[in-house]
Structure 1
């Protein structure tokens, strides 16, 4: 058993949840600095055109000075909430369980969280509940140095999964690679948001992990 230390992702991937298997708690880094082009504000889903990212626009996410992820504000000048939900509806409307979970997602979007941290945390709570996975969550109270200086049972997985590394770090026999029916195509696409699995397997998704 271990405590996994990780950053918060937007609609996390199957590999994200896979790394939590066997963990007794997830420790979320509340003091890390925001990084561009990561899963902090991006999720990958499967559409008729193939894998497609859903990206939450943020305010000043590209500025040079460092800013905590927990302080990053969402840019509501763009109508991303409508675009994300419509894309999910188009991609998964025909899936067996989209209708079971769609309203919960809409409720989160309707709350219009001011910060990316608040949005991601609400999504994580929802997904854990839908997966029927009662994993305790906790938050760092200060900056923790990189993995080399952390002692067991704390397992540092910060930035372990990135858009460039997800597939490379997925084990061949891992649940993220084990095929399940998907809405589009005949070749299985791994490394997607856990929504892909949830919409296809419903209440059984948690057991699949």
Structure 2
């Protein structure tokens, strides 16, 4: 039995799913504290202009005191939902499978979840279904310190293992083993993107490239 402990990401990357390939389950940390400039509210996609971050604006994310990620609220004063979907549409509208999945994405955006956690969880559950991957999900009931996790041999702590160290077209250090596949833009393969990049290009076969 092998379970991965991780924070919840926005439109998770291909490396996020790769770390789950040998796992029997995913334990999401519902009691960790929010950190700025992480994949908790950011995803990377490939556009005609290169690597493009999609960032969900949040409330209270810049407060000095610590706030649980599961309590972080989304800032809907900005029209980020429209911008994100338009970016995806512009970048991937010509890809083989964008039209197949676009309505599912729009449905989640239209729900306007109040909290970042709810948005990210909805997208993760959708992506697991699209990848045809029935991976069991569970949630922590309290904060698990690294020392406590170390006493559980079946639990693998991957919290903050994947971070957006920079926003550039160069390969990310933690994604160099990724299997290449055809992408919409450019001749050189760009790893470390949201799994949407793979899904829009490979459709039902996407899981085979992880």
Query: Whole-Å Cα distance in 1 between the matches of residues 151 and 144 of structure 2?
Result: 8
Using the TM superposition, give the Cα deviation of residue 151 of structure 1 relative to its aligned residue in structure 2, in angstroms: 1.8
Q: Which residue of 2 is the match for residue 41 of structure 1?
A: 41
Over aligned residues, Cα RMSD in angstroms?
1.3
Using the TM superposition, give the Cα deviation of residue 168 of structure 1 relative to its aligned residue in structure 2, in angstroms: 1.3
Q: Which residue of 1 is the match for residue 3 of structure 2?
A: 3
> Which residues in structure 2 correspond to 1:144-159 (within 5 Å)?
144-146=144-146, 149-159=150-160
TM-score, length of structure 2 as denominator length: 0.95
Q: Which residue of 2 is the match for residue 194 of structure 1?
A: 195
Asked if 1:70 corresponds to 2:75, the answer is no
Using the TM superposition, give the Cα deviation of residue 15 of structure 1 relative to its aligned residue in structure 2, in angstroms: 0.2
Asked if 1:162 corresponds to 2:163, the answer is yes
Instruction: Name the SS for the 1:52 alignment partner.
Output: strand
> Which residues in structure 2 correspond to 1:50-199 (within 5 Å)?
50-146=50-146, 149-164=150-165, 167-170=172-175, 172=176, 174=177, 176=178, 178-199=179-200
Instruction: Name the SS for the 1:192 alignment partner.
Output: coil
Instruction: Name the SS for the 1:105 alignment partner.
Output: helix
Q: Which residues of structure 2 form unaligned runs of 5+?
A: none
Aligned residues, how many? Answer: 205
Q: Which residue of 1 is the match for residue 25 of structure 2?
A: 25
In the TM superposition, what whole-angstrom CA distance separates every residue of 1:114-147 from its partner, at most 9, and x where no partner exists?
0000000000000000000000000000110115
Q: Which residues of structure 1 form unaligned runs of 5+?
A: none
TM-score, length of structure 1 as denominator length: 0.95
Using the TM superposition, give the Cα deviation of residue 150 of structure 1 relative to its aligned residue in structure 2, in angstroms: 3.7
Query: Whole-Å Cα distance in 1 between the matches of residues 82 and 29 of structure 2?
Result: 29
In the TM superposition, what whole-angstrom CA distance separates every residue of 1:133-167 from its partner, at most 9, and x where no partner exists?
00000000011011563421000000000001882
